Amino acid sequence: MLEDYCNREEILFRLCKARAKLARHRGKSHLDHIISADQNYNYHYNNQKSNRHKGNDIDLLCSIMPSRRKWINPTIKERYPKNDGQRINSVDHNTRALLKTIYHYRKTNPTEPFLIRLENFIDEIIESVNDENFSLTSPQILSKLKKPNDKSCKICRPICVFPLKDKIIISIVNKYLTKAFDNIFYDHSYAFRAKKDSAKFPPSHHSAIEYILEYKNKYKGKRLWVSECDISKFFDTVNHNIVREKFKDVIKIHNKTNDVKIDNRAILIFNKYLKCYDFQKFVFALNDDKNYWIEKKRDGGSFEWVKDDLLHCYKNIKRNRIGIPQGGALSGLIANIVLHSIDAEMKADEDEKLCYVRFCDDMLLIHPNRKICNEKTEIYFKGLEKLKLISHLPKPVNRIDKKFFWNDSKSKSSYKWSKLSKNSFDRIGFVGYEICYNGTLRVRKSSLIKEKRKIRDLTEHTLSILKNGKRKSDDMILESVSNKLIGMSVGRVSMMNYKFSDNEMCWVNGFTLLRNNHNLRTQLRRLDYYRSKHLSRFKKKLAKIPEAKPRTSDESRKIGKHFFIKIAGISYVDSESIRLELQNNKILNTKFILSKYRKDLLIKNANLLVLSSKYTSYSKEILNLLTEKEKEDRYVPYYGKPFSYFYHVIDKK
């Protein structure tokens, strides 16, 4: 039932998660603001870079959520649910904090303004789902460079962003339909699937690799024939009429085999999702709009399309609605719905020797018989023609040319997968992995290049924002960059938890099936060396950047409750009492902050420090603590075993 997915608690959870993700993005930008003297990265100046986390939807999201100061943090048990030192990630932490805060205000203060706005917004979402006349707003089109490191390449990808309310509705309907259709889809199609009842997570690219390895074990020592296909611009070329036709087909199959029919409200929203977007009208037309590219600061930019290849599929292409939003939650489901007919045709003869795997629009086909492999490949390409989809032209692989094989051909006609035979290849690539003929795995070259690019981009970005000076010490900046590099490579790892950390949300988590072998060891050692080399270069360049003149606010200092326990004979209670006396004497302000002005006065005239008789004997030590230069206690992780790719991929297992 749609009500199981479209209820108040489900909507609240999605809103809290959206706010938690915004907090994470803002946190990354806030670090730039802290370390850089460049006004472009300063929150307090009104410019494009400092306002990149502002907008109507962001303002709406913040208005219906409690302010950051009101958030109630999760307990230690909630932050460390496994009781092994492994902390939950920042998005989960903030989501729990928001839910906890909202539940608290529902009980204690239900008239809180943000809570009233939140409840009204949830009501509005539910009403929109139930309203037959509700229509989705056409998404905002953002341009993302296809090759950001190639300055000569101005080709962009169109990323679609829906308004907050529409985004929540689309994601709810997507979850409902994905679960409803999951049993219909091909078992070995692994992208955008629902979680099985007994599984902890939905199928992933790891599941595809496990299936291929299982198939390979049945044919140890035997030659196999492999064919690959990648659809060109699937999301930009899929035809709306075909989507509706295939959508009706899967609804019929579901309704025949289930007592509970597909909810009409979900069908209506699905059709409205198609109606709100047309690649020709909303994206391709922007290539002629100079103002759009000026506004996006992408002079000479353009959205690529395969219009010439599509012309033979249509009598009049302009009369057809083509393309679905990239970035929309329902687009992945649409890919499975449209390609399901090809999946069924490929497995129609129930050939047990056939290994047919699909991950969204990427296909891999393996068979011990070359003739059958070619026949099945032909069936797949004819199926794409019926659906009016364009594939990358399959190139014949009849020579041993590694550059051609790995870089110049996305679709490949049948080639031999073998170790000893002539004109054969000893490994195949799929979803980030390379599967060797002997059954071992290694990382695909393109995946290594992307990871190295991320390392390089992070260090170069940090240096670029420090051109006008740095506001923090080298150790603080170095700690920040090294922690980021560790986080994106092996996860939230420290000396306390490196032996049992889960490696969540990081590069290593994308390659959990890797096991020890010679080629893999070489790849990981090179990756570790590359990371440490860039950190070392960053450190040298950082030392040459001049410090910016500190602002008055930067030189102020907050005095904590236990600040004075460093003095021998001063207890925790005494420390708090001294702090209160300093506040009463106006040395500290109401927030217990010692300003630069007050600090300078104390340096010039120590007699301003007036204390009760109980603490007069400690006056000198207290004055020294207040006037000494604040030292930053920074820990820069050492790039050894606990933080290396090599340890977390090989040694740890």
Average pLDDT of adjacent 10-residue blocks, the chain of 653 residues? 90 96 86 83 61 77 93 90 78 95 95 95 95 93 85 87 95 95 94 86 93 92 89 92 96 92 95 95 90 85 86 85 94 96 91 93 93 93 92 68 58 83 83 92 92 94 90 87 91 83 88 93 95 93 84 69 87 91 89 87 87 90 83 64 91 82
Confidence (pLDDT) at 633: 58
Dihedral sign for Cα 48, 49, 50, 56, please.
Answer: positive
Q: Choose which CATH entry (3.30.565.10, 3.30.1330.60, 2.120.10.30, 3.30.70.2630) describes domain 205-228+352-444.
A: 3.30.70.2630
Kindly state the helix (H) or strand (E) to which residue 252 belongs, with its residue range.
Answer: helix 240-257
Integer Cα distance of 29 and 49 in angstroms: 9
Closest CA to 178 of 202, 210, 144: 202
Confidence (pLDDT) at 152: 80
- 3-class DSSP assignment, residue 201: coil
Of the chain, the end-to-end C-alpha distance in Å amounts to 42
Confidence (pLDDT) at 548: 79
Integer Cα distance of 640 and 493 in angstroms: 12
**The residue type at 147:** K
Confidence (pLDDT) at 199: 78
Confidence (pLDDT) at 46: 53
CB 531 within 8 A of CB 483: no
Confidence (pLDDT) at 153: 83
Integer Cα distance of 89 and 70 in angstroms: 20
The count of other CB atoms within 10 Å of the CB of residue 10 is 17
Kindly state the helix (H) or strand (E) to which residue 555 belongs, with its residue range.
Answer: helix 552-555
CA neighbours closer than 13 Å in the CB half-sphere of residue 227? 26
Q: Which residue has the tokens 């239900």?
A: 110
CB 36 within 8 A of CB 466: yes
Confidence (pLDDT) at 427: 87
**The residue type at 554:** D
The count of other CB atoms within 10 Å of the CB of residue 625 is 15
Report the DSSP pairing between strands 424-425 and 412-417: parallel
Q: What are phi and psi of 89, to 5 degrees?
A: -70, 165
Q: Provide the β-strand partners of residue 141.
A: 160
Q: Who contacts 118 (Cβ-Cβ below 8 Å, separation ≥6)?
A: 12, 15, 64, 65, 102
**The residue type at 209:** I
Confidence (pLDDT) at 387: 94
CA 513 to chain centre: 21
Integer Cα distance of 186 and 453 in angstroms: 35
